[in-house]
Every structure is written in C-alpha cells, then in structure tokens.
Amino acid sequence: MDLFKAAITVRENAYAPYSDFQVGAAVRTISGKVFTGCNVENVAYPEGTCAEAGAIAAMIAAGEFEIAEILVVAGGASKVSPCGGCRQKIAEFAKADTPVYMADLAGDIEESTIGGLLPAGFGKEHLEVK
C-alpha cells in the first residue's frame, strides 16, 4: 500500500526525543496527491505537534482540502490510533465514512473511519445559530 510506504518513510524524520515514539502519517486527497507528516516534539511538551497535523498542514499549504484516506503508523504494542485532537483535525477535511488506516511497523493495517473514531463529534452544524 503506497500510503503505508509514504507514512513509514516520513516517520524516519520524526523528531521525538522526549517520548521516543515516532509517528508517520500520510493523507491522500481526492485529487490523488499524497501529503505526509511526522510528529515534531518540543522541550515545552505541549508545543509538540502530531504526525497527522503535519500531513494536514502540508495538504492545506498545497491548496487541497478534501481527505480521501489517511494512514498513521508507529511502533508500540498495539497499532497507533489518532489522538482526540487529530481526530477532530481529520474530521474537518473528511467525510464520516472516510477511511482511517492504523498501521504497525510490520505493515499490519487496521481500518476504521473518521466517523467511527469520532462519533457525535463537534461539527460545523453546531456553530449554526438557532
């Protein structure tokens, strides 16, 4: 799967000296282009950014807005699952049934959707005035 290859490759560049937990993410947009990101930690811990945030920032910087699918890869005992904040970030640019793939380093991949990972999430409809 090319998304897995893209994500595990960018993971090599992750800057994670504090957690020692490197993460890679790859987004495919509806145009077919792939954008990648890795986590970038900071000595002021809350200033670190997740791999998904980096991939989404690259997508937006390229002028693309619609995620067709996204894959996240990391090591660890179980397959990495996007954190709550990243689920919200993905949802901003995806549909409820947009696939989210969660991979381990061996290339074993679990599939969900952003709607499955973020049920009843805060959405644009909540901003509408009554």
What are the structure tokens assigned to 59, written together? 């997508």
Residue 86: count other Cβ atoms within 10 Å of its Cβ: 24
21 binds ligand THU (CB under 6 A): yes
84 burial via Cβ count (<10 Å: 0-12, 13-18, 19+): exposed
23 binds ligand THU (CB under 6 A): yes
- Candidate residues 3, 7, 10, 50; the one interacting with ligand THU per rule CB under 6 A: 50
Q: Per rule CB under 6 A, is residue 13 in the interface with ligand THU? A: no
- CB-based burial, 33-65: b 16+ in 10 Å, e otherwise: ebbbbbbbbeeeeeebbbbbbbbbebbeeeebe
Question: CA–CA separation, 1 vs 28, rounded Å?
Answer: 12
Known catalytic residues are: 52
Q: In whole angstroms, how close is the CB of 48 to ligand THU at the nearest point?
A: 5
Judged by CB under 6 A, how many residues of this single chain contact ligand THU?
Answer: 14
Q: Which is nearer to ligand THU, 10 or 23 (CB)?
A: 23
Question: 64 or 82, CB closer to ligand THU?
Answer: 82
Query: Interface with ligand THU by CB under 6 A: which residues?
Result: 16, 19, 21, 23, 39, 41, 48, 50-52, 72, 82-83, 86
